[in-house]
């Protein structure tokens, strides 16, 4: 990095930059424009100072500032259209948020965790959130905004809207794999995204040369086709404006995404929990002060005789008074009510659906075809429904043919192949749902869902909650799962217990074709993210065939089905093991032992009422599932039974599930590790003879 002088102003520019842009002439701007920009930068800086003071007074818990980043952010906001364009921000973007219309009171309310905070205290400070302004609730997880931002941009292009998405990050965020997934898909599809890297040379304490290939993200990514790369001094407003003007014009014109690499300075430690003197020299810290963006713009305005120093001093005094007044107002506001801390995990309104309004009477159908028909009918019913994933498009129709024919029927914009990148699949679904679509992404095997955990845990499941119900991610994530197919370690996993522990999802697993169709339709028409588990072993099994229901057959999520009534013992199960339970019940009926079988159908929400009512009748219960017994979902079922129905138990609760080991490929391994008929019989014998 070298220091140059441009128009009398010290510049932060790389000596060998091939992407540098010239500064805009100050004559281009009106006095009102420059004064408003400077005021916003001052307001952001003063808010940083005030929040740190409040923190020292014990009136806040955390602060992460944007001091030194103000010029590029205000320049970005001045080139975007408030309430039209979209913002996928990161936690230093306070100046951008202010430029787009968020208020100092809202930001101070977030610092003080008041009800007037747009997240009502659910998020940390500087996690900007505004439905009205299209600023999607910021996530703490580094880079979590990249792929949802891509999804919004895809939705914009699909609809033909004249909008742009601002996707922002620090230099540390460019080390995340999702950053390169974003660039790969965004450049392939030429989406209208402006990606701004605010490079302050440090990812907390790690310098950029230890983070980034070539020591410059601009050089690293120049191999991507259709990517406009612009490098600028992000502390100089005039050069930042020129960079953002070019980037936004490029993206809005349909030519593809633009990346603005803005060199900025971090004038504060990483956060209030950090002391940058531990890893930065005094000389380094002092050198950054030369590049204070507020000082630069004020000096440029005075030199151009656009404003006097007295006017600038008066502007600062005005900002200082506003922040003091706004702080007093915020401190008088109410704290959140404790009981509101569990609100907005799932949709809390009324969804008018007519459940199971017919008796299925069509031709018998296997489960994979029922899923295929449900997708076709829902895509025909609602043009917002889109299907995508690995190998789902065209003649293949997915590795299990569940999506066959959908591309031919609805085009490759509504049923399309995604890159082999599970985080991209779920992340773009997140953005598409924010834009108003009903995405139905497919993860090819449950065993390969784990690269998407950043999106699944930190983005999709909590968006409604953390945004205080301003944003949500209604989508259906189809996931083939389960064993009994000799799939080995990476094609036999069950994942319901893992996701059952994440608030914000509904989780279903049908055991037959009719339920598969009805549950999928209900999930698509709902308002929450649903993990729709499809047991691969059941796809074409004859015992899972059912007469096909009609187009509006809906099965309620959260309601179990008593598939066989009995009086001596209850088996509660789901998925592929429903048939094993029914086989056992039929065998024991010949011995005059009556076994009731409950198919949960839904894991979350769990229908405890149906299970407990059955137990109060039979007084003995076997919990049967395919996932590991240790910390499997059966452990939760057992705990709830013990808590609610202990006095009705005539025998200990029995569990049959998989042994705690990966599922080997060889047939003897799978037969031994997964629950088998002998395991079920032995458990029943223990219960009836207790």
Distance (Å, whole) CA 94 – CA 112: 16
Give yes or no for a contact between 37 and 74, defined as CB atoms under 8 angstroms apart.
yes
CB atoms within 10 A of CB 398: 23
Catalytic-role residue among 63, 250, 261, 491: 491
Contact between 485 and 401 (Cβ < 8 Å): no
Q: Alpha helix (H) ranges present in 253-338?
A: 282-289, 293-303, 309-331
610 membership: H or E segment, kind and range: helix 608-618
Q: Which long-range contacts (CB under 8 A, 24 or more apart) does 298-307 make?
A: 298/38, 299/9, 300/7, 300/9, 300/26, 300/237, 300/238, 301/26, 301/34, 301/35, 301/38, 303/8, 304/26, 304/27, 306/26, 306/31, 306/34, 307/31, 307/34, 307/35
> How far is it, in rounded angstroms, from Cα 298 to Cα 104?
22
For every residue of 631-663, which 3-state class applies, written as one string?
A: CCHHHHHHHHHHHHHHHHCCCCCEEEEECCCCC
- Do the Cβ atoms of 350 and 380 come closer than 8 Å? no
Backbone φ/ψ region at 592: left (φ over 0), alpha (ψ -120 to 50), beta: left
Distance, CA of 563 to CA of 684 (rounded, Å): 18
Task: Look at the block and give the residue holding tokens 């899972």.
Answer: 544
How far apart are alpha carbons 234 and 297 in whole angstroms?
12
Asked if 259 and 184 touch (Cβ cutoff 8 Å), the reply is no
Among 282, 295, 228, residue whose Cα is nearest residue 255: 228
496 within 8 A of 530, measured Cβ to Cβ: no
Judged by DSSP in three states, 86 sits in: strand
Residues in the chain: 690
Helices (H), 209-308: 217-220, 237-252, 282-289, 293-303
CA-only gyration radius of the chain, Å:
29
Helix extents (H) in 332-421: 367-381, 406-410
User: Which residues fall within 8 angstroms of residue 396, CB to CB, at 6 or more apart?
Assistant: 404
Reply yes or no on whether 491 is catalytic.
yes
Q: Which residues are catalytic?
A: 491
């Amino acid at each position: 990095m070298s220091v140059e002088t441009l128009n009398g102003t010290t510049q932060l520019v790389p000596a060998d930059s091939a992407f540098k842009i010239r500064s805009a002439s100050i004559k281009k701007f009106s006095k009102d424009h420059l004064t408003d920009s400077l005021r916003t930068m001052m307001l952001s800086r003063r808010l940083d100072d005030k929040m740190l003071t409040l923190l020292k007074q014990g009136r806040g818990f955390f602060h992460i500032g944007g001091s030194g980043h103000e010029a590029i952010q205000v320049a970005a906001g001045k080139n975007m259209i408030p309430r039209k364009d979209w913002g996928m921000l990161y936690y230093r973007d306070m100046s951008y948020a202010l430029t787009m219309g968020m208020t100092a009171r809202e930001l101070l309310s977030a610092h003080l965790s008041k009800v007037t905070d747009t997240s009502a205290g659910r998020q940390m400070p500087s996690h900007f959130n505004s439905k009205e302004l299209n600023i999607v609730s910021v996530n703490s997880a580094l880079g979590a905004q990249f792929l949802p931002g891509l999804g919004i941009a895809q939705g914009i292009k699909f609809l033909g809207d004249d909008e742009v998405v601002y996707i922002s990050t620090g230099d540390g965020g460019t080390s995340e794999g999702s950053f390169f997934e974003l660039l790969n898909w965004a450049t392939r599809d030429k989406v209208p995204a402006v990606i701004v890297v605010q490079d302050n040379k440090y990812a907390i304490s790690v310098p950029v040369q230890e983070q980034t290939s070539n020591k410059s993200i601009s050089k690293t990514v120049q191999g991507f086709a259709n990517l406009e790369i612009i490098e600028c001094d992000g502390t100089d407003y005039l050069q930042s404006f020129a960079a953002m003007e070019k980037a936004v014009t490029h993206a809005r014109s349909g030519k593809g995404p633009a990346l603005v690499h803005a060199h900025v300075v971090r004038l504060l430690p990483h956060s209030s929990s950090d002391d940058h003197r531990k890893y930065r020299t005094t000389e380094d810290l002092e050198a950054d002060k030369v590049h204070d963006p507020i000082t630069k713009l004020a000096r440029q305005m005075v030199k151009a005789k656009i404003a006097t120093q007295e006017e600038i001093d008066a502007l600062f005094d005005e900002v200082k008074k506003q922040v003091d007044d706004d702080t007093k107002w915020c401190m008088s506001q109410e704290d959140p009510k404790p009981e509101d801390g569990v609100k907005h995990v799932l949709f809390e309104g009324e969804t008018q659906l007519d459940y199971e309004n017919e008796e299925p009477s069509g031709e018998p159908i296997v489960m994979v075809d029922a899923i295929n028909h449900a997708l076709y009918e829902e895509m025909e019913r609602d043009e917002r429904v889109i299907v995508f994933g690995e190998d789902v498009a065209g003649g293949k129709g997915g590795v299990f043919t569940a999506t066959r024919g959908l591309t031919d029927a609805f085009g490759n914009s509504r049923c399309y192949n995604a890159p082999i990148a599970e985080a991209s699949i779920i992340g773009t679904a997140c953005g598409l749902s924010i834009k108003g679509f009903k995405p139905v992404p497919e993860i090819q095997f449950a065993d390969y869902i784990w690269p998407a955990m950043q999106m699944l845990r930190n983005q999709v499941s909590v968006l409604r909650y953390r945004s205080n119900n301003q944003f949500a991610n209604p989508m259906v994530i189809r996931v083939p799962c389960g064993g009994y197919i000799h799939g080995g370690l990476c094609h036999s996993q069950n994942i319901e217990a893992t996701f059952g522990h994440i608030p914000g999802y509904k989780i279903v697993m049908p055991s037959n074709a009719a339920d598969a169709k009805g549950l999928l339709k209900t999930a698509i028409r709902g308002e929450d993210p649903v993990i729709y588990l499809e047991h691969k072993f059941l796809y074409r099994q004859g015992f899972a065939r059912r007469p096909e229901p009609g187009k509006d057959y809906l099965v309620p999520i959260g309601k179990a089905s008593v598939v066989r009534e009995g009086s001596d013992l209850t088996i509660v199960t789901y998925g592929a093991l429903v048939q094993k339970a029914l086989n056992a019940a039929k065998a024991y009926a010949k011995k005059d032992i009556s076994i009731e079988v409950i198919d949960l159908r839904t894991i979350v929400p769990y229908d405890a009422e149906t299970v407990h009512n059955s137990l109060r009748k039979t007084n003995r219960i076997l919990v049967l599932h395919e996932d590991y017994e240790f910390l499997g979902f059966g452990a939760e079922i057992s705990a709830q039974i013990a808590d609610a129905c202990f006095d009705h138990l005539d025998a200990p609760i029995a569990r049959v599930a998989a042994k705690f080991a990966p599922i080997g490929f060889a047939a003897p391994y799978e037969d031994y590790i997964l629950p088998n008929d002998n395991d079920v019989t032995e458990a029943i014998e223990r219960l009836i003879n207790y």
